[in-house]
Structure 1
Amino acid sequence: MKMIFIKKANILQLLFLLFVLSSCTKEKKKTALSDAQLPKSTLPKMKPLTNESPKLTAAYIESKKRSIEAFYNRTWPNHSANGSFLVAQNGQILYENYEGYANFREKRLITSTTPLHLASVSKVLTATAVLKLINAKRIDLDQKVNTILKEFPFPDVTIKTLLNHRSGMRNYAYFTDRDKTVWDRHNRLTNQDILTIMATKNIGLESKTDTRFSYCNTNYAMLALIIEKITKLSYKEAMKQIIFKPLGMNNTFVFDYDKDKDSIAPSYKGNGVEIGKDYLDAVYGDKNIYSTPRDLLKFDRARNSPDFLTPKLFKQVFTGYSNERKGEKNYGLGIRMINWETGQNFYFHNGWWHGNTSSYVTLQKEKVTIIALSNKFTTRTYKVRKLAMLFGDYPFHLDKGEKEE
């Protein structure tokens, strides 16, 4: 009887031990599952800015519409535009126009829902996602990049110097173009390829970090990798969850080379000849977002919402960091600016990739959004900045023959 009792005790101890181990295993699995779900549940999300006031009167809208339409007809006479154009104030559209073809061969017209390539205006959206992660304390503005991307070879480069183009890095389009031992142009380049090349091919800095401004697409290709590392999502999915979906930007997406290359609006030279894809077309963060003016209006107003960032961080976004030379032009955290001696400030970003040109203007004091996109190469896209003069004291120079409405 004693032996049976001991055996029963041993069995009970063994069962208890198995129960404890099983509980620990389940707890570990539960923890691992929570970690896997963490990015989705804790991702910071943009919030729409709605019901802006005051509501514009019909007379005011009509007056501004006439002036904007006159500017549009001067800039693109005889319906020569091939793209999308919108001007809004307080979130209310004053004027919009959509002309030309998204696809010349198919005779597919550009409409208000046609996504066009944003080129470098994509940088504003990439910066916005990074800023939301900073605001949520997932990363720090002054954090060293090599604490996130372990193989990143430049120890002094921070997230801030990526955002404001003061990292000193070289442009990936140049160091992958000239030497076949660095990269074979028959292969499509990816963001990870850029990082690996810099880490293994002795690609040095162009200048010492944070000593001068040098606009460089490599900065934003690295920011896209940081977004992926921190969120544990693809850049495409992270941008969708942080920005596009919360704001209802239903016609905005990150270009997926394999999935989208045959369906997106191609780009064209000024003479209408289609421009094909090349080995750089799979890199994202610095470019490769497609959108519409109406979607970008939602985005712009959300960026001017009190919920966007803390006041301190918001101010840092619109501070110029390149003051080694005296001048009016500067760059903040993902935004270009002109700072006149009068105290007036103008914030914008332009873009150019293949035949795509883009212009994004945000007049903060006047709550005005100006968007111009084209998939047929033209520099006229950039002239829309002059419309700022309709809303405030922005001292742009008029071209010969132009007059202010």
Structure 2
Amino acid sequence: MEMNFIKNANILQILILILVLSSCTKEKKKVQLSDALLPKSTLPKMKPLTNEHPKLTAEYINSKKRSVESFYNKTWPNNSANGSFLVAQNGQIIYENYEGYANKRDKRLITSTTPLHLASVSKVLTATAVLKLINAKRIDLDQKVNTILKEFPYPDVTIKTLLDHRSGMRNYAYFTDRDKTVWDRHNRLTNQDILTIMATKDIGLEFKTDTRFSYCNTNYAMLALIIEKITKLPYKEAMRQIIFKPLGMKNTYVFDYERDKDTIAPSYKGNGVEIGKDYLDAVYGDKNIYSTPRDLLKFDRARNSGVFLNPKLFKEVFEGYSNERAGEKNYGLGIRIINWKTGQNFYFHNGWWHGNTSSYITLPKEKVTIIALSNKFTTRTYQVRKLSRLFGDYPFPLGKGEKEE
């Protein structure tokens, strides 16, 4: 009798344990893990921002659309643009335009789904992947780079000084161009080549780390290698898994020289002459992401959502870290900043590579996104910043012959 009682009690305990574990499993499925709790084998992923409120009224959209369209027609008169353009608020497109040739040879036109080279706007996306890894506690913002890339030769350089361009490193385009004993320009340069050259060819720093700002593409080429080292994936695949796929950026990819060199939209000089490839075209992280304004709109809204990063790190992204000289221009963690004396701040990033020019503008307070991309060289791409005046107190000076709408 006693043995049966003990046996039945044990069975009852096991049943209760199974029920508890089952309940816990169901509950865990309901809980969305934060980046910091993700298992080491899982990559942190961007989360799309949908159903933004308030919805813009038709009257508001039409009013802003008239002003934006007027600006567009004055900036690129007589259909002279060769690129993509979009203005949106609360994730809703107010105005967009697509003009010109993606490829003049086969008369392929630029449409809303045509990926164009982002040039240095690629840095914003590279920084975003790094920030997600920091947020997930896979790396630290102030971590020394040589603890990740073992052959990295500059002991004081941190991930932060790569992100904010205060590392003091020299631009790889210069130290590989001027001395044939450093690099043979008949060979395509890679990110790993840059690291190896700096480690073995006595490439000194331009200045002591974290003493001043100097915009340098080498910083972001190294950040791409860090992404690869931490994720154990090629940069293009890590970017796809962390950013592109989760956000539904179906027309965005990292340029692969061998795979894509004959299919991408080439770039052109201002006179329409096609620009060929050179030995620097295989380096990524600082450039070499192709995308569309609609995809970048998805990206921008996700970056400005409340779940992109923890509040402390998110605030640090938009801090200016180069204050050794008085002035309005500054740089955060992968974003350019203008700080006006009025207290108003403007966040953006421009790009220029071969004939490609790009401008990405994000106005977090007004929830406005402005994108301009061109694969035919023009500095007019950068003028779109003036559209910020339509949405807030952004005191950009009026150009010659311009007036407020």
SS in 1 for 2:313: helix
TM-score of the pair, normalised by structure 2: 0.90
CA-to-partner distance for each residue in 1:77-107, whole Å, 9 max, x for gaps? Answer: 0000000000000000000000000001111
CA distance in 1, matches of 2:112, 2:264: 15
Amino acid at match of 1:266: P
Q: Residues 63-84 of structure 1, C-alpha deviation per residue, up to 9 Å, x if partnerless?
A: 0000000000000000000000
- Offset at 1:42? 1.2
- Supply the AA of the counterpart residue of 1:139: I
Q: Which residue of 2 aligns with 1:311?
A: 311
Rounded Cα–Cα distance in structure 2 between residues aligned with 1:50 and 1:280: 38
Write the distance in 2 (CA, Å) between the matches of 1:327 and 1:42: 42
Q: Aligned with 1:114: secondary structure?
A: coil
What are the superposed Cα offsets for residues 174-209 of structure 1, whole Å, 9 maximum, x if unpaired? 000010000000000000000000000000000000
Shift of 1:383: 0.2
* Residue in 2 that maps onto 1:188: 188
Question: Residue in 2 aligned with 1:116?
Answer: 116
Find the aligned partners of 2:232 and 2:41 in 1 and give their Cα distance: 12
What does 1:57-76 correspond to in 2, within 5 Å?
57-76=57-76
Q: Could you say which residue in structure 2 is the equivalent of 1:56? A: 56
Counterpart AA for 1:185: R
- Aligned pair 1:159/2:170, yes or no? no
Q: Give, as a single letter, the amino acid of the residue that structure 2 aligns with 1:232.
A: K
Match of 1:203 in 2: 203
The offset of 1:305, in angstroms, is: 0.6
Q: State the one-letter code of the partner of 2:274.
A: E
1:337-376 matched pairs, under 5 angstroms = 337-376=337-376
**Which digits, 9 at most, give the CA deviation of each residue in 1:210-248, with x for residues without a partner?**
000000000000000000000000000000000000000
Secondary structure in 1 aligned to 2:229? Answer: helix
SS at match of 1:42: coil
1:50 Cα deviation (Å)? 0.4
For the 8 Å contact 1:39–1:231, the answer to whether it is kept is no
Distance 1:273 1:39 in 2: 50
Residue pairs, 1:209-288, within 5 angstroms: 209-288=209-288
Measured after TM superposition, the shift of residue 367 of structure 1 is 0.1
Contact preservation (8 Å) 1:39, 1:232:
no
Aligned position for 2:45: 45
> 2:320 aligns to what?
320
1:276, 1:265 → 2: CA distance? 12
Corresponding residue pairs, total: 368
Provide the C-alpha distance between the structure 2 equivalents of 1:240 and 1:96, rounded to a whole number of angstroms. 25
| C-alpha distance in 2 between matches for 1:316 and 1:400 | 37
Equivalent position SS for 2:383: helix
Query: In the alignment, residue 205 of structure 1 is paired with which amino acid?
Result: L
Distance 1:64 1:359 in 2: 20
Alpha-carbon shift at residue 40 of structure 1 (Å): 8.7
- Percent of matched pairs sharing the same residue: 90
| Contact 1:317–1:332, Cα closer than 8 Å, also in 2 | yes
| Cα 1:366/1:304, change in 2 over 3 Å | same
2:301 alignment counterpart: 301
Any idea what SS the aligned residue of 2:70 has?
Answer: helix
List runs of 5+ in structure 2 lacking aligned partners.
1-37
Match of 2:3 in 1: none
Give, in whole Å, the separation in 2 of the partners of 1:280 and 1:403. 42
- Give the aligned CA root-mean-square deviation in angstroms: 0.9
Deviations 1:88-141 (A, max 9, x none): 000000000000000011110000000000000000000000000000000000
* 1:387 partnered with 2:395: no
Q: State the match for 1:141 in structure 2.
A: 141
2:79 corresponds to 1:83: no
Structure 1: distance between partners of 2:389 and 2:40:
43
Q: Distance in 2 between matches of 1:305 and 1:246?
A: 14
Moved over 4 A (4+): 38-41
2:97 — aligned with what?
A: 97
* 1:400 counterpart = 2:397: no
- Counterpart code for 2:78: N
Shift of 1:41: 4.5
1:404 deviates by 1.3
Q: Which amino acid aligns with 1:58?
A: A
Q: CA deviation at 1:39?
A: 8.6
